[in-house]
Structure formats: C-alpha cells, structure tokens
Structure 1
Amino acid sequence: MGVVVNDDIDDLLRRTSRSFYLSLGTLPDQIRNQVGLLYLLARVADTIADTGENPELLIGMLDCYAEAVQGKSDDIDLNSIADLQENHDEGVLLKSVSEVITAFTCTEDVDRELMLRCLLVIISGQRLDIERFGTKSSEIGILESDEELDDYTYRVAGSVGEFWTEISLSRLIGDESLDVERMLRLGIRFGKALQMINILRDIPSDLSIGRCYIPKDRLSERGLGPSDLLNPDSMSSFMGLYSEYLDLACDHLDCAEEYISIIPRRYRSLRLSCLLPVVIGRRTITLLRGGNVLAPGEPIKIGRRSIGLILLQCKLAVRSKWYEKRLLSAGRLVSTRE
C-alpha cells in the first residue's frame, strides 16, 4: 500500500483503524490515499471529542482543529490532551496532527475540497456530541428522537459514504454513465448502516462515558430509561426495540448491497472494499441478535480468524457473480428476523 503521510504515521493508521484497514488495503490506488488520509483526519476529531472532562476546552480544540484544516490558522497543539490518552497510538496521532494536516494541504485541490467538506460535517457531529452529552460523567445523556439519531449517523458516517462515492466517481469511474444522485443517496445509507451497527454493539461502553444513542422517546414507550440499559436483565424488555434498530441497520445494508450492484464489475478492488464491510456487518448483526448486548465484558464481535475467512470469501465473490449473489443472500438470511 502506498504512503499516505509517512512511514510512521501510516503505521499509526494501520494500528488505529482496525477492520477499516482491511477495506483500505483493498481500495484501488487512485483513491486509497485520499480515503486513508480522511480517516486519519476524522480520527483526530473523534479522539479530541472523547478526551478529558472539560467540554468547553474540547469544543475550543475542535474549533481550532477545524480552522487549521481549513488553512485559517497554523496554530494547532494537541499535546495537552495527547498525554491523557489511554491508547498510546491515539496519543501519538494527536502529537503528529501537524504532519497529518501538512499531508492534507499537499493533496490536489479537487480531492482536498471533497475531503474538507466531509471532515467539517464529521467535526460538526463530534461538536454536537459534546454539546449534548458533555464529557465523561456519571450522568447519562440521551438523544431525544429517531430524527436526532439519524442526523448523528449522517454526520459521522453517512457523510463518509457520500465522500467515498464522490472520490470514486471523480478519480476512478467518472467516465461511466451512472446515476450519480442514486449512488450518493445509497452511499449515505451505506455509511449509516456501519454506524448503526457500531452504536448497537457498543451500548455498554457508550453508557460508561455517559452517552445513550438509543432515543429517549423510544425507550419511554417501553417504560425504560437509559439507566435501565446498565442492567443486563433489562434485555428482555429492551429486545423488541433493539430488534427494530437491528432491522433498520439491515435496511441500510440492503441499500449498501444495491450500491455495490451499481459499480461496474471490472472495478474489482472498489467492489471488494465495499463488499467486505457489508458481509462483516451482516454477520455482526447475526451475533447481536443472538446475544445480550447489555451484558458486561467483551463486546460482541467477529473474531480475527473469521475476518480472514470473510476477506477470502469476498475476494472470491468479486470474481464470480454467482458466488457474490450466494454470499450476500446468505448474509441477508441469517441477519434478518424471521
């Protein structure tokens, strides 16, 4: 894989991006660096938003970061919060933010404009998170409605699906007669699918930092509040609503599959980079349906060995239309409620 920033920062990308790095490694050369660089830029914003207990300070740092990436200021120093990171790699990333921004400013104008537009939407989502929830606290903040949830998933992930589509069309498949508006709409749903799965998998860890992304009005309909989700025994009461949100994630993944079907089959690498998170997402939903997500301990997730097998299956699928159809059909079957 080509160099995104430099060898050291690229190694950080590998260590901090987890399963996303698999998709990144399968991307075509024409767009791999832009997607990888956007990930690093977004990870900086996410790390800022999740650090410390002073919301005003974090909002100020996010605003300074937004100004720096827009070229309005070159005064960006995140060392004070870098030292607070429990994850060493994230601390190093914050200390290296100037190098990441420099790499960003050296990209071509068209690419930089697309990345910046997406990044500012992501930063707005992180900023809104701090305004809503504050920082790590014993008091649990909560979203009010499905509309707020949908807005949040767009800002932090749907916008990435939008960018992914725009950069792919700009750099790779722009000469094809494709329905751009349809692809953009489906790309947004693709991003929302992956974020919904994260939210539905990470309920205990989000609650531990005072954040509940399951809307208040939907919990109230079932006589529940956010504090009830701290009790694993509440799963029986929560399961109906939880299943509805898993169904929503499946609906979003249906759009992701439609998105993949639009990409001409000769763009194997691009199709592979999209197919991989869809298959992983379906299998994660299957595990979430069968477990108690409120139980403490390790989050429900697919093991590394299974991820390796899925990657192999996806590589075969992009070479065989029949096998791809079979793989996706099997995923829909096991992830959808009977």
Structure 2
Amino acid sequence: MAIHTKDLGGPLLASVSRSFYLSIRLLPRKLRAPIGLAYLLARASDTIADSAEVPEAARLQHLAAFARMIRTGRTDGLAELQHDIHTPHPGETTLLCNLDRCIAWLGELENKDRSEIVDVLEKIIRGQTLDLERFGGGHHVVALQSAEELEEYTYLVAGCVGEFWTRVCLNHLPGCSSLGLADLRKLGAEYGKGLQLVNILRDFPEDLRNGRCYFPEPELRAAGTSPTPLIDAPAKAQPVYDLWRERAIAQLDAGYEYIASLRSARLRAACFLPWYLGLRTLRLLGKPGTLDRTDKVKVSRLTVRFAFVYALASAFSERALAWSYRRATGHARPAPVISEESSSAASP
C-alpha cells in the first residue's frame, strides 16, 4: 500500500514503533523529520536482516543494495528486495512497500541532515551485516569471541545512533546542552549501547534457541560453561549475564547525565522515555530466576503510562529526574560519567 510522503513520519512510523513514535512526537518539530526518517530506514534494514526464511546470502545482498540506495538515492534492486523480503508485521510490510518514498524523502532533506542519516545507516547496516556473517546459517550456537566484539556490535547498531541523535540536535538546536559536542557525543554513544545491551540481556534465552550468543565465549568458559549447553540451561551463564547487566546499568547512567545536560524540555522528555524503561527492564532482569523463565521479560503497561508522567516532570526538574532514577533502580542518582572539569572546559 503506497502512502503519501507526508504520512511517512506519522501513521507509518506509529505502525512500526508506537513507543518510539511517541518519543518523536515529544521532540521539537524541526528534529522530527531527520530522526523519524532515520528510524524508518533503520527499521527497514532490520526487517531485511531478520527475515529468517530468506537465505543468508540473499539477505546480505539485499542489505548491500539497500545501503547503496541510501547512499546514492537510486532505487536499483528495490523490486527484487520487495519480492524476496516478507514479514508478518503489517507495519513493516507497509514500510517495505514504501521504501522508494522513504528514499525520495531522504533526498529532500537538508544536506547536513541527509549526510548524518547516510552516515548512521552505513554503520547500522555494517553491524547487521556482521551479525549475519557471524551467526547466519549455523546449526549450533555460535558465540562472540571477545568483549570487544560485543562492544563493537552495540556501537554499530545503537551507539552510533546516540551520536547521530546528538549531532542532529546540536545542528538544529545549538546550545541545547550544557555540554560540548565531544562530551555529549560520548554520553550519547554509551546511552545507545546501553539500550541495545538491555535488548541483548532480555532476549538471551530466545537468541540461544536461534543459535546466537552475544556473550563472549571465553567469559562463558571461565564461568564453567559453553554456548551450546546454555540452550537447555541458560542459568549457567548467570555470572557472565550479571557482568553485562552491570555494564548496561553503567551505560544507562551515562544516559542520566545526557538527559540532565539538556536545556530543551521537549528534548529531555523524548530522551527520558527509552532511558527510564530501559532501567526498569534491567531491574526486572536482575530478579532471581530470570534466566529460567520461558516468557520474555517486559515492563507493565502501567509502568509505561507512569513513564510519560515522569518524563514530563523530569523535563522541567532535575529533582524529578533524580527521583525517577531512584524509582527505576532503587538507588540514588549515579555519579557523573563526565567530570565537571571536562564539561566546563568543553565549548557548548
């Protein structure tokens, strides 16, 4: 179903991610188009990469073709992509049918916004390509081989998004943060990586069943286990799981500092929602017996509703932001990731 270009960032965006759509609606108006379009393109590449019924080689080919479309503005290979890639998600199906309009919309943006989107999608697709090359097509559980590989992956698919978000915000809203670009970009990258690590922790048992283990194999062996036995006994990975959960908490602590530095109430509220829900998810993931559960850990709908109330309060109040952190974690606000000395020395 073809839809009008002006509706791509409205109904279509809402159909593929209602939570992110709400964050987009909280943003200052001038930021909605570049950030919303970047999300749609990233969601499309994710749909391509996750189409398990399509052979790995074909998915890699379509990802490369999609990257060329984004880079050049030409839609060569789009018909083949739309023919091969199918998804049960109605919103994603509509998105795939409207990729030509998304590419056309990209060409209509300001040069600086277009360049930022091309750059971040290049990194995301590189991360998705690495993921397919490492895990695709196997009949046993494959694990990453080092912490560096996991850090690289979380950066490529999410940390770079924090950097993109930061640059776009500063391009359109100079002075929107009390921190300079270098410090804010560092915090944004850590914040994005933390959100992705939350997903990895939450999806750990399911990923094992699909032959994927994002925890480094040397760490698992040091804990007395290995990837394949974890399918039937994921709790054997508990020491490694706890280590990376602590890493995710530290990264979302960077998100606290990121949000606290923002001067725009709308921007603070938009950044607050995924951060708060990520912290609440991490708290649930820390409960005993989590790895033995057969269902996916999710925050309640009531928690999501209250998150919007807390977001509005935290948009205007540092005290409310600190209270929200305590509410989410059970602890007092985190220590700064960026020191006062470095932040005061950085140019706004």
Give yes or no for TM over 0.5: yes
Rounded to whole Å, the distance in 1 between the matches of 2:67 and 2:50 is 16
The partner residue of 1:290 within 282, 287, 292 is 287
**Bigger shift: residues 308-317 or 120-129:** 308-317
Deviation at 1:80, TM superposition (A): 2.1
Indicate conservation of the 8 Å contact 1:157/1:194, yes or no: yes
The partner residue of 1:330 within 327, 337, 344 is 327
Indicate conservation of the 8 Å contact 2:187/2:255, yes or no: yes
Structure 2 residue aligned with 1:117: 119
State yes or no: 1:280 paired with 2:281: no
Structure 2 residue aligned with 1:263: 262
Deviation at 1:176, TM superposition (A): 6.6
Rounded to whole Å, the distance in 2 between the matches of 1:197 and 1:209 is 18
Rounded to whole Å, the distance in 1 between the matches of 2:126 and 2:254 is 25
Tell me the secondary structure at the aligned position of residue 92 of structure 2.
helix
Indicate conservation of the 8 Å contact 1:204/1:293, yes or no: no
> Which residue identity is paired with 2:31?
I
Rounded to whole Å, the distance in 2 between the matches of 1:87 and 1:58 is 18
Cα deviation digits, residues 36-59 of structure 1 (max 9, x gap): 100000011111111134121111
Structure 1 residue aligned with 2:89: 87
Unaligned ranges ≥5, structure 1: none
Structure 2 residue aligned with 1:57: 58
TM-score when normalising by structure 1: 0.90
- Using a 3 Å threshold, how does the CA distance of structure 1 residues 262 and 177 change in structure 2: closer, same or farther? closer
Listed as ranges, the matches of 1:1-338 within 5 Å are 5-7=5-7, 10-51=10-51, 52-71=53-72, 73-75=74-76, 76-77=78-79, 78-82=81-85, 84-135=86-137, 137-174=138-175, 178-231=179-232, 233-235=233-235, 237-264=236-263, 267-295=264-292, 297-333=294-330
> Which residue identity is paired with 2:320?
Y
Deviation at 1:119, TM superposition (A): 0.6
Rounded to whole Å, the distance in 2 between the matches of 1:4 and 1:157 is 29
Rounded to whole Å, the distance in 1 between the matches of 2:65 and 2:193 is 27
> Which residue identity is paired with 1:118?
V
Cα deviation digits, residues 293-325 of structure 1 (max 9, x gap): 434543101122220111112211222332222
- Using a 3 Å threshold, how does the CA distance of structure 1 residues 216 and 175 change in structure 2: closer, same or farther? closer
> Which residue identity is paired with 1:302?
V
TM-score when normalising by structure 2: 0.88
Rounded to whole Å, the distance in 2 between the matches of 1:18 and 1:243 is 30
Unaligned ranges ≥5, structure 2: 334-348
Rounded to whole Å, the distance in 2 between the matches of 1:117 and 1:174 is 23
Rounded to whole Å, the distance in 1 between the matches of 2:113 and 2:8 is 23
Indicate conservation of the 8 Å contact 1:168/1:174, yes or no: no
Cα deviation digits, residues 13-50 of structure 1 (max 9, x gap): 11212422232221111111211100000011111111
Cα deviation digits, residues 253-273 of structure 1 (max 9, x gap): 111111112212xx1000111
**Bigger shift: residues 270-279 or 158-167:** 270-279
- Using a 3 Å threshold, how does the CA distance of structure 1 residues 257 and 294 change in structure 2: closer, same or farther? same
- Using a 3 Å threshold, how does the CA distance of structure 1 residues 7 and 254 change in structure 2: closer, same or farther? same
Indicate conservation of the 8 Å contact 1:201/1:288, yes or no: yes
Structure 1 residue aligned with 2:339: none
Rounded to whole Å, the distance in 1 between the matches of 2:177 and 2:297 is 40
> Which residue identity is paired with 1:326?
W
**Bigger shift: residues 310-319 or 4-13:** 4-13
**Bigger shift: residues 33-42 or 220-229:** 220-229
- Using a 3 Å threshold, how does the CA distance of structure 1 residues 200 and 234 change in structure 2: closer, same or farther? closer
Tell me the secondary structure at the aligned position of residue 290 of structure 1.
coil
Tell me the secondary structure at the aligned position of residue 306 of structure 1.
helix
Indicate conservation of the 8 Å contact 2:200/2:214, yes or no: yes
> Which residue identity is paired with 2:251?
H
**Bigger shift: residues 5-14 or 144-153:** 5-14
Rounded to whole Å, the distance in 1 between the matches of 2:47 and 2:176 is 38
Rounded to whole Å, the distance in 2 between the matches of 1:177 and 1:319 is 15
> Which residue identity is paired with 2:122?
L
Indicate conservation of the 8 Å contact 1:140/1:211, yes or no: yes
Indicate conservation of the 8 Å contact 2:205/2:234, yes or no: no
Deviation at 1:97, TM superposition (A): 1.1
Indicate conservation of the 8 Å contact 1:27/1:270, yes or no: yes
Rounded to whole Å, the distance in 2 between the matches of 1:9 and 1:174 is 26
Indicate conservation of the 8 Å contact 1:256/1:278, yes or no: yes
